[in-house]
Amino acid sequence: MAPVIGYWRPRGLLHPIRMLLVHTGVDFEDKVYPETSRDEWLKDKESLGLPMPNLPYYIDGDCKLTQSLAIIRYLARKHGLAGTNEEELIRTDLVECQVQDLRLALIKLGYHEYSEEAREKYLKETLANHLKLLSGYLGDHPWVAGNKMTYVDFLLHDTLDWHLFLDPTCLDGYQNLKDFLARFESQPNIKAFMESEKFLKWPIFGPMSKWGYDDAGSKLRFPD
Ligand SMILES: N[C@@H](CCC(=O)N[C@@H](CS)C(=O)NCC(=O)O)C(=O)O
């Protein structure tokens, strides 16, 4: 039986995991819980045999995982998308943590603080600082680890893509990050998936988010 990934409908924390599976060509099933009600998820929550029940989850026979980073690290080891030497491991660990800080910053802005003023401040201070660091560290390398694509590229891609919804011009001045996005999106399975009807561009966050559900902030990159 194909592995199952379970999550709410929005991209949220699941997206990099789904894209990694797509890239590897593994068959998988999406179990989508409607984000408008917790009932369906609560029915499954204690009955799936997850040691730490949460969303997203990944179930493949006896392998039952939650925690988005634990899932993607597991899949990276399984599919040859983890660092393989100390230099690659240091680079991927460092960027994974930096990207996680940036993801959490946008989650905080989106869910708790969103206003036009907060957005402006976030773009000028928080995001500008992170992009400078990430762009500088990536340098001329094609991938975060150096020459090898790893799971952290999926996290970085997703996080940069989130921010293009917040400000479609935010990567202007960071040509290596733009090239990185293009490189990632031109991987054959990823490209085909992104062009298919299965690919969900939006929404990124759930309906409790202030960003995306009540004003024009949601419509910056993909107006529909
Ligand atoms: N650190 C966890 C956070 C998981 C989390 O907060 N999941 C939210 C959606 S983003 C949820 O609705 N979980 C289901 C629940 O709490 O029952 C991860 O990275 O997977």
Tens-place pLDDT, residues 153-188: 999 999 999 999 999 999 999 999 999 999 999 999
Ligand 1 binding pocket includes 71 (Cβ within 6 Å): no
Q: Is 209 in the pocket of ligand 1 (CB under 6 A)?
A: no
Q: Decide whether any atom of ligand 1 lies within 6 Å of the 13 Cβ.
A: yes
Cβ of 50 less than 6 Å from ligand 1: no
Residue 102 lies in domain: 86-187
Question: Same domain, yes or no, for 122 and 54?
Answer: no
Q: For 52-86, how does the pLDDT look when each residue is reduced to its tens digit (9 = 90+)?
A: 999 999 999 999 999 999 999 999 999 999 999 99
Measured in Å, residue 138 CA sits from the centre of ligand 1 at 29
Is residue 211 in some structural domain?
A: no
Of 5, 8, 13, best ligand 1 pocket probe by most atoms within 8 Å of the beta carbon: 13
Is 90 exceeded by the pLDDT of residue 222?
A: no
Compute the C-alpha angle 123/134/89, nearest 5°. Answer: 145
Find the mean pLDDT for residues 87-100.
98
Distance between CA 174 and CA 176 in Å, rounded? 6
Residue 4 has pLDDT above 60, yes or no: yes
Given pLDDT bands bounded at 50, 70 and 90, which one contains residue 111? very high
- Count how many domains the chain has: 2
Whether 36 and 116 map to the same domain: the answer is no
Pocket lining: 176 vs ligand 1, CB cutoff 6 Å: no
| CA 170 to ligand 1 centroid distance, Å | 28
* CB hemisphere CA count around 130 (13 angstroms): 24
Same domain, yes or no: 118 and 26? no
Q: How buried is 224 (Cβ within 10 angstroms: 0-12 exposed, 13-18 middle, 19+ buried)? A: exposed
Residue 25, domain member (yes or no): yes
pLDDT at 20: 98
DSSP H helix total and E strand total for the chain: 9, 4
